[in-house]
Amino acid sequence: MLGFLIALVIGFWLLKVFFKIGFKLLGLIFTVIIGLFLIRVFLWLGVAILAIGGIALLALPFQN
């Protein structure tokens, strides 16, 4: 019975360690995926702002 309890404690400790490592890896993967998505969104926003600024600069000489 004592050996079973010791094995149970060691098993739960190993599960905790594996889950902690697994959740850190999952968090890292999701952080990278979300970061790449946000970079893409902000790059498109930057392109849109540059286009609007370019149009404004090109239209500047035509104003009366």
Mean pLDDT, the chain, whole residue set: 90
pLDDT of residue 64: 62
Provide the 8-state DSSP code for 64: -
Read off the pLDDT of residues 11-36 as tens digits, 9 standing for 90 and up. 999 899 889 988 999 999 999 999 99
Note the pTM of the prediction, 2 decimals.
0.54
Cα distance between the two ends of the chain: 94
Confidence of residue 59 (pLDDT cuts 50, 70, 90): confident
Interval 43-64 mean pLDDT: 89
10-17 long-range contacts (CB < 8 A, ≥24 apart) are none
Closest listed residue to residue 47, CA positions, set 37, 36, 55, 59 = 55
Tokens for 12, please give them. 């739960």
